[in-house]
Chain A
Amino acid sequence: MTKQIMIGLEVHVELNTKTKLFCSCPTKGNEEPNSRTCEVCLGHPGSKPVLNKKAVEFALKLCLALNCKINPELIFSRKSYFYPDMAKNYQITQYDIPLGKKGKLNLSSGKEIGITRVHMEEDPASLVHPGGMQQSSYVLVDYNRSGNPLVEIVTEPELSNAADARDFMKNLITILTYLEIFDENNNIIKADANISIKESGFVKAEVKNITGFKEIERALNYEIERQKKEVKEGKKLHQETRAWDSEKGLSFSLRKKETEEDYGYIIDPDLVSTEITKEFIEKTKQDMPELAQDKVKKFISLHKISKEDAFVLSQEKLLADLFEKVAEEINPTLAARWLRKELMRVVNYNKKSLNDLEIDESHLIGLLRLVENKKITDNVASKILEKLIEKPFDVNAFVKKENLGAVSDVKELKKYCEEAIKENPQAVEDYKNGEKKALHFLVGQVMRVTKGKATPKEVNEIILKLVK
């Protein structure tokens, strides 16, 4: 089968270091424009860059996680072009010898996507266009971001649809989060996508500046449809650079690309090449956590949970770590079901992220142990979990205090059931006449009276026996 669509990504990831790539200014903090700056990240004459070793370690971790070939030397070049967001009118980046090359990343489907290269570079300043990019007559420059450490990941054009691209981004973010070199809530991840379709003879359009993995699917679907439409209308596509406007949900042409731009690269003579020694690589490897794909394998083989559960739990490091701790004490299948479904439901409902959670594994173990031993019903446990997310408390004490223990004594349950039957003769009659819903009604009555402390299944069985 020949390819229908070819998509390659250039992904820019802001690394989660405390300080900038070439100076000691903080990468985060004061949001007042131009407050986190110094002579280096402002490009003042006389200032010189000094490489942040932590950023190198972070970038190396990513290269290793993506199975890249590591270059023994880290070499920075100057990429020259004039633009108002550039403090020096050149960007310190890597040119023909990137830190890592020839790596790969597996999509959730198992399809392997080639990584052409991974390199480090400094972020330019941010530009603020009052009133919008196309309308504003002037631009404001904020150098707080200038010099923040970035890695750029370039893929082979092996993604074949927008969903694949989204999945690639999602998996990449999972790796970055696992490596703890990227903070999804505070760091920016942006992609430029090269897209071409068979119908045009694969004429490339580069769509710049797509933020986040949800946007990439939107932007690519838009672009694929646009290209198909234009070809259908008999238009000839040109190689061009386009910008994605996420608010309007469309891309617009920035410039036609007649020739490759010439950035006049030279090796940055202010920086010396940094040796990436075997020892450094080994040490970095040792410091690397288990990655999502390793976790999936482990969860299946060690904890014997389903492949699907293992996959879902592994996508978020915090969730995976939490699962591992809980599964030490609780039946793993039960733990898996509760964590991936109930915990995530409650977290999402509260519009929180796992990062915000105040509870830890001890609360979950406490709660699930009660479930496991049938001391409380699922229903009650869910309600307790909802409360726990709001503010942690001692689960056992709470259950005792609120008298939420499950009614599992058959005699007692039977009493409640008999009462329900007695008070609702019409429902019993209806059931006997073949209305199944009437049985649900009776079970519901028992559940209401017991405040959810009874198990619906059990109540169901008892009532069935009684009404027969």
Chain B
Amino acid sequence: MQDFVSKVKNNEIDIVEHTHKVIEECKKINRDYNYFNVISDTLALEQAKNIKKNLKNLKNKKLLGVFVSVKDNICVKGVESTAGSKILKGYKPLFNATAVQNAIDQGAIIIGKTAQDEFGFGTFSVNVGVDFKVPKNPFDKNRSTGGSSGGAAGITQKLSNHIALGESTGGSTAAPASFCGVFGLTPTYGLVSRYGLIDYANSLDKISTLGKTMEDASLLLDSISGYDEKDSTSLDVKNNPNKPVKRIGIIKEAFGKGVDKEIEKNVYNGISKLKENGIKTEEVSLKLPMKYGIEAYYLIAVAETSTNLSKLCGMRYGMHEKLEGNFNEYFTKVRSSNFGQEAKRRIILGTFARMVGYRDAFYMKAMKVRTLIIEEYKKLFKKYDALVSPTLPILPPKFSEIEKLSPLQNYMADIMTVSPNLAGLPHLSVPVGFSDKLPVGMLLTADHLQENKLVEIGKIYD
């Protein structure tokens, strides 16, 4: 990427012409793979022209001319941003998400809004909103890209000189990165401002980056992170300076029963590379997160999301219907016809979990489990620089296979990824190999604000 950026800076590439070409390429890819909900060609060309005109003043921009795709749930001013939901059709934000603005300020060109499970509700990008298209795996069109940042991961695999802005709530970056064979870097909760991120579960949502290389994903993260007064949960700290990675724990509960043998094989290959680089590895146990992570995660996520989605009722923005009946009847009509099935499921589950009498048994208990999970991680990070496991227990499934999964089986695919997300820990999926032409990802988790350690490890696989 550095090479491309310097060519743009030195005017060796005509960025406007190049943008035209990239737009055409994206359109072509999209016809086959459905990675974009919107290709923002007007905005991209405007930005390219601006770069060309002001080239002299932009020499210090880290992302000059780099194409950045934006997950559909991150607001881009004036570009339809629906979070993959029909209920937000027509919503053109009045503002840029802080992460998007930061990328633009570093010279990035915003190429479009990428496909996702509706509001992030899924692991396979098949829970897209009503009338939306399902993105297809870049290695096999009959298979899933993973989700919910499926479009982001797919286009990252297919398109050069591009980095993706994704988002993770319970594994929505690591999972598609793994299935599409790219690097997916989810930072510490609060490192990147959530301002302009359309909420799924506010206490879990993190804007992330996906790149073909570790360097790409890290470059974009550096450009977008930092304190933002518009997000109360934003952290007023820098991620820690480089410290050498010496010791990595292998999570023993993440191997064996329920894990595809091909995945185990590839991940062990990946681990052996760590050893080759002088990093000590040893088995560790991560009992509570592996046992209760899924339950705690889904309870908290659905409780929060059921309040977040309340505002979507066809009154102020997005889809409108014919005004009939009283407000309750109208809201019901809009929400019934424009939310997808999984969204409805999570609204109902979440509303239930918040009810008097159930709130303590479910939601409050889940919050306590979350605290215990963080504590268990923190203990391990006293001794280990990072923890390693497969990203997902399965290879990218065929769409026909996903159809057969029950909701609970669906949720279980997140077993490795939910706990780092629940604990707000930075984590990274690195591509470690292929099983019969399908990519395999390995998940690395580090302590809060230790993104640099993950990047250092990730570079081994560049």
Contact = CB atoms under 8 A, between A and B. Distances in A.
Interface in A180-239: none
Contact of B304 (A87, A262, A269): A269
Contacts of A49: 232
Interface stretch (B48-56, B281-289, B312-320): B312-320
A104 B269 CA distance: 70
A51 interface: yes
Interface in B175-219: 194-199, 201-203
A46 B81 contact: yes
Contacts of A44: 93-94, 316-317
Contacts of B97: 46
The winner among A44, A78, A83, A87 for most chain B CB atoms within 10 A is A44
A140 interface: no
Contacts of B198: 45-46
Given A39-B95, A46-B93, A266 B356 contact: no
Interface in A259-276: 260, 262, 264-266, 268-272
Interface in B299-324: 303-304, 306-307, 310-313, 315-317, 323
Contact of A89 (B194, B196, B231, B311): B311
Given A39-B94, A44-B94, A264-B354, A89 B310 contact: yes
Interface string B85-114: 000100101110100000000000000000
Nearest to B356: A262
A51 B356 CA distance: 27
B432 to A, nearest CB: 34
A46 B75 contact: yes
Contact of B194 (A48, A83, A138): A48
Contact of B232 (A51, A139, A265, A266): A51
Interface in A41-68: 42-51
Given A88-B311, A272-B232, A80 B316 contact: no
B36 interface: no
B213 to A, nearest CB: 29
B423 to A, nearest CB: 15
Contacts of B75: 45-46
Given A50-B232, A270-B232, A80 B307 contact: yes
Contact of A272 (B81, B233, B331, B351): B233
A80 B359 CA distance: 14
Interface string A258-302: 001010111011111000000000000000000000000000000
Contact of A46 (B195, B315, B327): B195
Contacts of A262: 355-356
B124 interface: no
A143 to B, nearest CB: 9
A264 B357 CA distance: 10
A84 interface: yes
Contacts of B196: 46-47
A146 B8 CA distance: 47
B230 interface: yes
Nearest to A264: B354
B310 A80 contact: yes
B354 A90 contact: no
A141 B306 CA distance: 24
A48 B311 contact: no
A393 interface: no
A38 to B, nearest CB: 8
B310 A88 contact: yes
Interface string A240-264: 0000000000000000000010101
Contacts of B313: 82, 89
Interface in B359-403: 359, 363
A48 B363 contact: no
A90 B350 CA distance: 14
B409 interface: no
A419 B400 CA distance: 121
Nearest to A43: B311
A51 B306 CA distance: 23
Given A82-B327, A84-B327, A272-B233, A45 B311 contact: yes
Nearest to B75: A46
A264 B232 contact: no
A266 B197 CA distance: 20
Interface in B321-363: 323, 327-328, 331, 351, 354-356, 359, 363
B462 interface: no
Interface in B227-265: 229-233
A265 B359 contact: yes
A258 B320 CA distance: 34
Given A270-B232, A271-B232, A78 B81 contact: no
Contacts of A78: 307
Contact of A90 (B310, B312, B317): B310
A138 B351 CA distance: 29
B232 A87 contact: no
A141 B316 CA distance: 10
Nearest to A80: B307
Nearest to A262: B356
The winner among B75, B97, B232 for most chain A CB atoms within 10 A is B232
Contact of A266 (B94, B304, B315): B304
A242 B229 CA distance: 42
A45 B316 CA distance: 11
Nearest to B327: A84
B68 interface: no
A274 to B, nearest CB: 9
Contacts of A271: 232-233
A271 B190 CA distance: 12
A270 B202 contact: yes
B45 interface: no
Nearest to A85: B327
A45 B310 contact: no
B444 interface: no
B422 interface: no
Interface in A348-391: none
Interface string A27-48: 0000000000001001111111
B331 A269 contact: no
B413 interface: no
Nearest to A270: B202
B310 A50 contact: no
A88 B304 CA distance: 13
Contacts of A39: 93-95
A80 B310 CA distance: 8
B80 to A, nearest CB: 12
A82 B316 contact: no
Nearest to A261: B356
A442 to B, nearest CB: 76
Contacts of B331: 82
B164 interface: no
A82 B354 CA distance: 15
A48 B308 CA distance: 11
B457 interface: no
B200 to A, nearest CB: 11
Contacts of A268: 202
B83 interface: yes
Contacts of A47: 95, 195-196
A272 B236 CA distance: 13
28 contacts: A42-B316, A45-B88, A45-B93, A45-B198, A45-B311, A46-B95, A46-B195, A46-B198, A48-B195, A48-B230, A50-B232, A51-B232, A78-B307, A80-B307, A80-B351, A82-B313, A83-B327, A84-B327, A90-B307, A141-B315, A265-B354, A266-B363, A269-B201, A269-B202, A270-B199, A270-B202, A271-B233, A272-B232
Given A39-B93, A44-B93, A269-B304, 6 more contacts: A45-B88, A46-B75, A80-B351, A88-B310, A264-B351, A268-B202
Cβ-closest 5 pairs across A and B: A264-B354, A89-B310, A269-B202, A269-B203, A46-B75
